[in-house]
Structure 1
């Protein structure tokens, strides 16, 4: 064989089974010079796979190019290990047990938050400055991921951050139902102003708990709360007929080319 792909640097990503991308001419040479057997387990129509006597696995595409794995066994073991890994889940799964009843639970969650953090209840006046008191109390909880383990602490923080946003904008709570494999997840938002603008009191909070860095509730809230010159709504609801199960809207998103609106649809929570 003039050009043996095995002599080149493997093309697999780190941690994956060792393999090489193979040109069409190299596929033909491999199949002609070595003994290969069709592998029904890995073959699909127009994309046959072959296993060699030495245990290699060769995938051949419809175009004739291929992918040569150094070990069929290694590929199967890596694939099995990846399949057994926990699948990504919604950040609110297990962290907001109030579900569809979250909005009605907001007052009691804030009462409980004051008790957990040992802050006088009257200090929770939904003012922006009160978030500094909450931040100071949260610094005592180490490691900070324990915030997700203490019953109703994370829901209480979501509730209070949302109440601050609601007071600042004169908005109202609403829930969006998202269907996951484990069941529905109810995402709480604060909607304000004309056009269905909304604020998210939980996503950046969750990230600040699970990722490196300190928790800055006042920063998270200031990012969500619109400034007077901010005329770009995150969401513009296009149909607001109360009898519709779904509502269509244009969502404002940031892209590498700048801000843009995209059409979307979501289930309405009555």
Structure 2
């Protein structure tokens, strides 16, 4: 069901002319990221749960780590881009179409993907340079904090570099989003019309909820010292942001969005009529 909804969001954003706007363009990228997120972790999780051989090769583990970090970093940057889009829509409505030009939207989307994969390349490279003493991960997928616990030498210098990279990709985007929403809140409070306020709140509410879910779990996992990381709590948080959050994202956006719901019901109506 999750894959059907995500695929429907992507398809509708591409085919329905009413959804050919920057917001839905970025939403289609977010939906594709969520699909990749679950695909990169769930199959191996199912193998470990039902298979006799509950292992993964070192190469496979590094590949999973690289892909997961790349997708997470890309989503972190993309959420900033979506916040900027909402800021322009609410605070600069008369200049929205000029600022959010399709060329700029394409450039921002490409920058999100390139930045995400570049960050993952740096962190995965630093991780591979550290010798590991253990060979058994107490986790259901290859995650950075668990990897660090297997290091058998002083990793202070490498950890410091990786922490800086994580701050850049997690904390800085979170602060930028908070700043943009502070400006949005200030602009909304100046509006006298109650209907206009509700429309602005509805437009930004879905994105803000997704941001809270994503950055809350990412901050707990990646912005705390290695020694204070709890494996049991880490598993729960990892399960939350790798499976639960991506499953909630399409529901949050579709159930709170009239245009998306209208386009979805239109397609379902046509399918029922032809069937």
Give the structure-2-normalised TM-score.
0.25
Larger relative contact order (C-alpha < 8 A, sep ≥ 6)? 2
TM-score (norm 1): 0.25
Structure number with higher strand proportion: 1
Larger radius of gyration: 1
